Structures are given as C-alpha cells and as structure tokens.
Chains A and B, each alone.
Chain A
Amino acid sequence: MTFDSGMPLVVELALFALAVVVLLMGIAGRPYLWQGPRSGPVGVAGGGPAGKAIGWVALGGLVAIFGLTFLATEGGSVLRGSFVQDSLAIFAKRLFIASAALSVLGSLTLPHASFSRRAGEYHFALIASLLGMSVLASARELVLLFVAFELMSIPLFLLTGFLKREAVAPEAALKFFLVGTASSAVIVYGMSFVYGVTGSTTLDAIPAAMIGGHPLMRLGMALLLAGLGFKIAAFPFHMWAPDTYEAASTPFVAWLSVAPKAAGFIAIIRLFVEGVGSAALVWMPAIAVLAGMTIVMGNLMAIPQQNIKRLLAYSGIAHIGYMLVGLAALSSSGVAMMLFYLVAYMFGNMGAFLVVEVVARSEQSDGIDAYRGLAQRSPLLALVMLIFLLSLGGIPFVAGFWAKLYVFWAAIERGLYGLVFLGAVLTVVALYYYLLVARRMYIEAPVRRDPVPVPGLLRAAIIVCVLGVVGMGIYPGPWVAMAMRVAATLF
C-alpha cells in the first residue's frame, strides 16, 4: 500500500484534530470525571473551559476548516483510489461543513444546562459525524463507504437523545436508531452482493457489472437503493424523520435535516451515477417512482400538522422527492440541478428551523399557533420566516424557485413529463400549508404584543441563511455554473 500524498486527506485530518481538541476540552471542564466523583461539583461546569468556550472553539475550527477546503487540490487520491478528492467530494464537504457551522452557531445559545455541562460531548459527536460525512463524500470503495456511513450515523443517534432526562429524547433516539441500523443492515447486505458479483470492493468495478446485468447485482443495487432511501427519508422509508425532528434540539435538527440527507445523495451518486453512463438508465423508473411517491406523500402528510417541526419534517420529505426528480433524470444537468437544489434547501430549511428555535424559545411551544400575529410583534422575524417559507414553496426570486424550475427542466429533457406534472401540482399543495403558517403570522391577531427576543448568535445564523436564499434567488448564475461543473465530471 502506498500513500501517494497526505494532502487530499487534509480536511479529514483537521476535522479529526478538532474533534479530539473539543473532547479533551470537555473532559478538562469536568474534573470529577478523572479525579473521582467527590472532588468536584457534579452538574456544574467546573474549573476548566466552560461549555460556551468549547462551542466557540468548535465553531472557529469549522470556519477554519471550511476555508481549508478551498486549499484542497482537486483530483488527488490516496489508498489506491479508495479515497478521492474530486470536485464532487469538495462540493459536498463545503456543504456539510457550512451547515454544521450554522448549526453550531445556532446551538451556542441553547438554554438547557446539559448543553453547557456536556458541551464537549455534544460537539465531539457532531464533529465525528461530520468527519464520517466528509470521508463518505470521498469514498470510492465499499468498505470505506460503509465505515464512513456508520461513522456519520452513530453519533446522530447519540445527538438525538442528547437531553437524556427528558421523556421524548430516548424515544426519538431509539426510533431513529432502530430504523437507522436496520437500513444500514440492508445497505451492507446489498454491498455484499455487489462485492460478490464484481469480485472487488472498488466502485470502479460497478459500471461493468451493471451492464452485465447479473440478477444478484440487480438485487444488490435494489437493496442499496432501499437502504439509502431510509437515510434520505424517501417515502416508504420516511417514518423516523418527523419523530426525530420533533424531539431533538432544533439547531441540531436544522443540520440533521440537511447534511445526512445530502450525504445519502452523494452515496447514491457515487454508486448509481458516477462513471456508469447509460447503464444507469435501468434505474430510472425505480428512482422516478420513488420520487413521485415521496413528493405526493410528503406534501399530503404535511397538511394536517399542527407542530411546526413536524410540518417542516414532512415538507423536507417532499423536498427529498424533488431532489430525486433531478436524480431520476440521470443526466449531467439533472445531477447538477439536484446539487443546486441541495444548496437552496440547506439555506431555506436551516433558516426556517432557526426561526422555529427563536420562536420556540420565546413561546415555549413548537405549535403553529405560536406564530399568531408574529408580523405585528416582530415584523422583521416574520418577514424572514416568510422568505424561508416562500423559498421552500418555490416562489420566484428566492432560491427555491430556481431549484424547482431547474430540476423540472432537467427531468423534461429526459421526457419525464408525468413526474414533472405531478411535482408541479404538488407544489401548489405545498404552498397551501406554507401559507397556512404565513396566515397565522400576518393575518391572525397576536395573543401577546411584546416582540420576540432574538439571541444575537441565532440572528447571525439566520442572516447567513437569508443572504443565501435571497442571493441564490436573485443571482443563481454562479451557483448553477458551479453545480454544472461538479456534475460534468461524473459523466
């Protein structure tokens, strides 16, 4: 085994170092962990670095590593091509790290004492998961892909149940865990067939085997698609998402709703699209059906929701369906538009969740009724929420509009008219429930008249999301060009 050069691994090494630093800071802050239970006050941040400081270190580190991705050279590979640093990997890493930084920025002000006392663990788990995603984005080998997937997933279960004394947290963590591990088992069962047919674990061997069309290969790829469907919460495999979102802390959910799903899509691209060419068209009907079902069911199930986090969870499922429309085109422009959609979804969805956190902290409720008369109480906050909702709904001049338009465009190029029609009709349904929230904010009378306080750090995170949504909406050109450039290397 030869190590061509350590440089392609620079982002992963930096993330690993950051995770270790954060973990050690967390241990240093709780002397009773290593001096015995008597020596320090249990339940209070001890003499070492306080929770806030750990959060700031994690945030600073993530921002620095985000900058580092611009230094990483494209095209490098290590471990005989198992780990590649191509433009798709770098694009995905920037998306993961940017969304993680936004989430950490949002979680710095979480009021619960656990977040301050166990900040080391929280940020360690988050960065470990991020490391898994980062490796996943570069993996071109089945064993590495699987290990990276698990490194991503296991800390997510842990983070979901982070508030372990509350009744709902362990329940959500257990549901997420059971679905997540069962889907991992399905994925790795599929991988075993792919390995058996191709006789090697590198992804380079997949295109030839796909063209060969061995029945076991078909079975393996179908299992992989189903297992990855769980990870991205596509329709028949979506049940874990709403429960998990409702119980976990909102800034974490903002990240959970974007980054792991993006990672699932990257894995699908690596397995089904990259280098496969026209042999992948066998999978077009399966992906198209998955996309159609996901759009319909996600949108319909969102309508009756009275909890804003559940509403956003179901609408997120529908958005996964729209991304699958782009993927179903299995063309260069389809994948590019899916990547563009991912970025638009990141800004819009994370922004909406961060506003939810602001309102929930002031009203102590995740119900839609908490938004009553928000426009009269805090006009700016209501406007920002409206922008995010319109972006998610797909109204012109915010990011979501272009994302939907481009995805449909790519699908029409491939003749998927029925799917596009379905998607367009369901967009109206989506607008209906987004505007139900907007109606509460703008038309209904407020219960209280005092403005909603917005913590400064959350405000910063929300401003970044607004800039992203509006910037992509007014000036989508450069983002599209970037996505096209990334996708062009895959075909």
Chain B
Amino acid sequence: MGLQAYLTLAAVVFCIGFFGVITRRNTIGILLGIELMLNSVNINLVAFARFSGDVTGMVFTVFTICITVAEAALGLAIVILLFRVRRTVTADHLDLLKG
C-alpha cells in the first residue's frame, strides 16, 4: 500500500470526527469526534515518517498523543462538573449564554 492509502484513511477518519463534532448533541459524543480528528493526525504523521524514512514524525506523534490525553482529561472533568451543576450534558440545553 502506498502513502496515498494512509493519507486517505486519515482524511476519512478526520472527516468522520469532524462530522461527529458538528452533528452530535451529546457533549461526550463531541469529545469522541475531537479524539477521532486528533487520531487521524497521528496516522498522517506516522505514514509520512514511515515513507520518508524520517523519525521526527514518530516523535511528533508521541507529543500529540500526550497532549490529546491531557485534553481529554480536562474535557471529561469539565463535562462531569457541568453534569453536577446543571444535571445535563446535552449541548442543546447549554443555553444560559446567548446573544
């Protein structure tokens, strides 16, 4: 399989994630979409690194994975906080701030 196959896979995963971010009403679903978007980046980076024989892309991937984890941790913490205060995690119900 050539580089193109991996890039296409990454693009598909990215688009699925983006679609999820836009269409999901549950904030956890949106978070999952963002995770997919970030994972497609890893596929891209590893594929580019593998096909150019350059290790930097792999190192970049390690950094993005770490940061993704930090983001997911904070995001879930905010969702839990929101549930405690408001008893809902549905995006449609988050309408105190408007205008």
Contact = CB atoms under 8 A, between A and B. Distances in A.
B14 to A, nearest CB: 6
Contacts of A154: 70-71, 74
Given A178-B27, A243-B97, A189 B79 contact: no
B78 A157 contact: yes
A200 B54 CA distance: 8
B71 A173 contact: no
A146 B68 CA distance: 12
A266 interface: no
Nearest to B18: A182
A186 B64 contact: no
B36 to A, nearest CB: 9
A158 B70 CA distance: 12
A377 B70 CA distance: 49
B67 A147 contact: yes
Contacts of A201: 56, 60
B78 A170 contact: yes
A164 B81 contact: yes
B37 A158 contact: no
Interface stretch (A105-113, A190-198, A275-283, A460-468): A190-198
Contacts of A172: 97
Contacts of B14: 185, 189
Contacts of B74: 154, 157-158, 177
Interface in B9-62: 10, 14, 17-18, 21, 27, 30-31, 33-34, 37-38, 40-41, 44-45, 47-48, 52, 54, 56-57, 59-60
B97 A184 contact: no
Interface residues of B, number: 42
B71 A196 contact: no
B94 A189 contact: no
Contact of A174 (B21, B47, B78): B78
Contact of A150 (B18, B27, B67, B86): B67
B45 A195 contact: yes
Nearest to A160: B78
Contacts of A175: 94, 97
A242 interface: yes
Majority secondary structure of chain B interface residues (helix, strand, loop or mixed): helix
A181 B44 contact: no
Contacts of B71: 150, 154, 181, 184
Nearest to B21: A182
A171 B27 contact: no
A305 interface: yes
A164 B86 CA distance: 11
A199 interface: yes
Interface residues on A, range: 35 or more
Majority secondary structure of chain A interface residues (helix, strand, loop or mixed): helix
Given A177-B74, A177-B75, A181-B75, A196 B44 contact: yes
Contacts of B97: 168, 171-172, 175, 242-243, 246-247
A173 B27 CA distance: 12
B65 to A, nearest CB: 11
Nearest to B42: A192
Contact of B64 (A166, A174, A188, A242): A188
B54 A177 contact: no
Given A171-B94, A189-B14, A195-B56, A146 B64 contact: yes
A177 B78 contact: yes
B99 interface: yes
For A158, A193, A306, the residue with the greatest tally of chain B CB atoms inside 10 Å of its CB is A193
Given A175-B94, A247-B97, A143 B75 contact: no
B38 A192 contact: no
A167 B21 contact: no
B85 interface: yes
A60 B36 CA distance: 43
A167 B86 contact: yes
A192 B82 contact: no
Interface in A288-330: 304-307, 310
A184 B21 CA distance: 13
Contacts of B85: 164-167, 170
A3 B40 CA distance: 34
A264 interface: no
A382 to B, nearest CB: 25
B82 A170 contact: yes
B99 A170 contact: no
A29 interface: no
12 contacts: A143-B60, A170-B78, A177-B75, A177-B78, A178-B34, A181-B34, A189-B37, A191-B41, A193-B44, A195-B60, A201-B56, A247-B97
Given A150-B67, A150-B70, A186-B37, 6 more contacts: A164-B85, A171-B86, A178-B31, A185-B14, A192-B48, A201-B56
Interface of A: 142-143, 146-147, 150, 154, 157-158, 161, 164-168, 170-175, 177-178, 181-182, 184-186, 188-189, 191-193, 195-196, 199-201, 242-243, 246-247, 304-307, 310
